[in-house]
């Protein structure tokens, strides 16, 4: 056999190895199951943190700044974890060590949070919880790009959205079930303290978070990259803290154009979503149920009903996520995302006219469409243009466009609430809806690489390349 024939055989073999085999339903299920626990813990935080702050004496204009821990920890942790996980290989693989460590820390923080006795303790617990959640969550996005073939990417991210929705539904109704089925509300909680059912919900969340992430770690195997020595060299060449941040800033300057276009969509999308996180539960308690004091049973009923509404939009989320890949294939990812964001924004704006608690379910169902799409479509469009060896860091940087609007809201929305909105939480939700409608319009200027390739028949310049074909850096 000639040298040329031998070289060609090696090339063909590498091509076969580089091409990912389509995954079955069980494989997609197992690799995404950890997101159920992550979202369970995150939804407990989203549904109860503002109420916990108010239980401990916070005023409406103080709520945004007390939430600052959430976006700041994401801004710091996600690029770092993404950069490091791109350069990691251990007996557990590349991404799974971060899943496991983050799950352990998150579970401990979930136990700590509802036992806070002062505002500063609750805010500190939120810093620990959000940093730990980000350590687990960020590599999950890169996990799909690592293991799932390109033609299954939308389905893979859709499976994550399914578990996000399912986890959120379960977490949202957990306090209501504890009160109405197990009658734990009969245990009297002293005024100014966090209700007992909220504490039990957080303890359950800690167990679910750790258990589901451990399931993914134990059932999903990561294969070594084609050039393991090159990866180990990149791991050795990180260069300490200075080298770490230098490498991250270098990647900021080489972001794909699609990522820059999606950045504006993400900014306005997540400003709207964060308004829901900040003010929806207290808005239901005060503006819809009419509670004047956080210690009243009427306020607790409002918070529980807000949990039911959050469960409702997450039911819509996980059902819609099952059909997202088909809807996107029949239309386009851009059209699907634009429509979904518009429906979510319109739902939030319509809250201005809602007075009956039961009528809240319809606009929040519309918000569920936007929630499902926001967790799927941007990542699906972005994954088409990311180099394999840097998927983690780019996903981490992309998530910065989620936390930056949250930082803006945390720093500025308190002043707006006090001076322009009269501390009316419903008006803050309407402002979030307007922001999401703007995002739905901006989607039109995003380049959908897969659609472009389908219509032109040309392979884009920024397509994924096999990891073994790149030099270590």
> The tokens of 342 are what?
């518009």
- In tens, the pLDDT along 278-334 reads 899 889 998 999 888 877 888 888 988 998 898 888 889 878 988 888 898 898 999
> The tokens of 176 are what?
């209501």
Do the Cβ atoms of 51 and 153 come closer than 8 Å? no
How far is the C-alpha of 262 from the C-alpha of 137, rounded, in Å? Answer: 20
- In tens, the pLDDT along 75-100 reads 888 888 888 888 788 888 888 999 89
- In tens, the pLDDT along 206-262 reads 999 999 999 999 998 887 767 767 766 766 666 667 777 787 788 888 888 899 999
Write down the pTM of the prediction: 0.71
Residue with tokens 């005060």: 286
3-state SS assignment for residue 93: strand
- In tens, the pLDDT along 266-276 reads 999 999 999 99
Do the Cβ atoms of 28 and 156 come closer than 8 Å? yes
Residue 90 bridge partners (DSSP): 93
3-state DSSP: the chain helix, strand, coil percent, rounded to 5? 80, 0, 20
- Who has greater pLDDT, 340 or 380? 340
Helix 96-112 with 69-86: angle, nearest 10 deg: 160
Radius of gyration of the chain (CA): 23
Q: What confidence score (pLDDT) does residue 395 get?
A: 81
How far is the C-alpha of 146 from the C-alpha of 422, rounded, in Å? Answer: 48
How far is the C-alpha of 445 from the C-alpha of 458, rounded, in Å? Answer: 20
C-alpha atoms less than 13 angstroms from C-alpha of 235 in its C-beta half-sphere? 13
Average pLDDT of the chain is 82
Domains of the chain with CATH codes: 25-219+239-447+461-467 (1.20.1250.20)
> The tokens of 297 are what?
């049973």
> The tokens of 192 are what?
């100014």
> The tokens of 117 are what?
């006795």
How far is the C-alpha of 55 from the C-alpha of 61, rounded, in Å? Answer: 15
Quote the DSSP letter at residue 90.
B
Query: Rounded to whole angstroms, what are the CA distances from 463 to 51, 91, 228, 387, 413?
Result: 46, 30, 22, 7, 40
Q: What confidence score (pLDDT) does residue 462 get?
A: 42
> The tokens of 101 are what?
């460590």
Residue with tokens 């801004």: 75
| Closest of 77, 25, 31 to residue 213, by C-alpha | 31
């Amino acid at each position: 056999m000639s040298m040329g024939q031998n070289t060609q055989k090696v090339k063909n073999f590498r091509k076969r190895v580089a091409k990912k085999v389509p995954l079955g339903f069980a494989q997609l299920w197992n690799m995404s199951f950890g997101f159920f626990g992550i979202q369970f813990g995150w939804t407990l935080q989203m549904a109860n943190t503002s109420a916990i702050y108010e239980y401990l004496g916070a005023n409406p204009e103080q709520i945004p700044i007390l939430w600052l821990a959430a976006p700041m920890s994401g801004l710091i942790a996600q690029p770092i974890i993404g950069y490091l996980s791109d350069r990691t290989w251990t007996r557990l693989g590349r991404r799974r060590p971060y899943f496991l460590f983050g799950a352990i820390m998150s579970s401990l923080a979930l136990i700590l949070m509802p036992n806070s006795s002062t505002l500063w303790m609750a805010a500190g617990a939120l810093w620990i919880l959000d940093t730990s959640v980000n350590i687990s969550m960020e590599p999950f996005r890169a996990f799909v790009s690592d293991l799932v073939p390109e033609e299954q990417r939308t389905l893979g991210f859709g499976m994550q959205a399914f578990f996000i929705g399912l986890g959120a539904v379960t977490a949202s109704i957990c306090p209501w079930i504890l009160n109405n089925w197990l009658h734990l509300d009969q245990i009297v909680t002293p005024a100014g303290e966090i209700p007992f059912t909220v504490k039990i919900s957080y303890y359950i969340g800690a167990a679910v978070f750790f258990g589901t992430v451990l399931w993914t770690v134990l059932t999903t195997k990561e294969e070594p990259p084609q050039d393991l020595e090159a990866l180990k060299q990149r791991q050795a060449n990180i260069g300490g803290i200075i080298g770490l941040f230098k490498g991250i800033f270098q990647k900021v300057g080489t972001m794909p154009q699609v990522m820059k276009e999606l950045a504006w969509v993400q900014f306005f999308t997540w400003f709207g979503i964060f308004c829901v996180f900040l003010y929806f539960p207290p808005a239901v308690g005060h503006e819809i149920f009419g509670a004047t004091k956080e210690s009243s049973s009427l306020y607790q009923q409002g918070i529980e009903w807000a949990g039911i509404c959050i469960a409702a939009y997450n039911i819509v989320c996980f059902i819609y996520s099952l059909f997202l890949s088909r809807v996107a294939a029949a239309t386009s990812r851009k059209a699907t995302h634009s429509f979904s964001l518009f429906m979510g924004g319109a739902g939030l704006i319509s809250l201005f006219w809602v007075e009956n608690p039961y009528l809240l379910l319809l606009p929040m169902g519309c918000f569920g469409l936007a929630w499902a799409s926001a967790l799927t479509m941007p990542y699906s469009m972005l994954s088409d243009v990311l180099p394999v060896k840097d998927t983690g860091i780019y996903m981490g940087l992309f998530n910065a466009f989620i936390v930056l609007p949250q930082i803006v809201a945390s720093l500025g929305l308190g002043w707006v609430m006090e001076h322009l909105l009269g501390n009316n939480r419903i008006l803050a939700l309407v402002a979030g809806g307007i922001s999401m409608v703007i995002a739905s319009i901006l989607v039109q200027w995003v380049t959908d690489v897969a659609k472009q390739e389908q219509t032109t028949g040309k392979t884009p310049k920024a397509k994924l390349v096999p990891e073994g074909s790149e030099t270590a850096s």
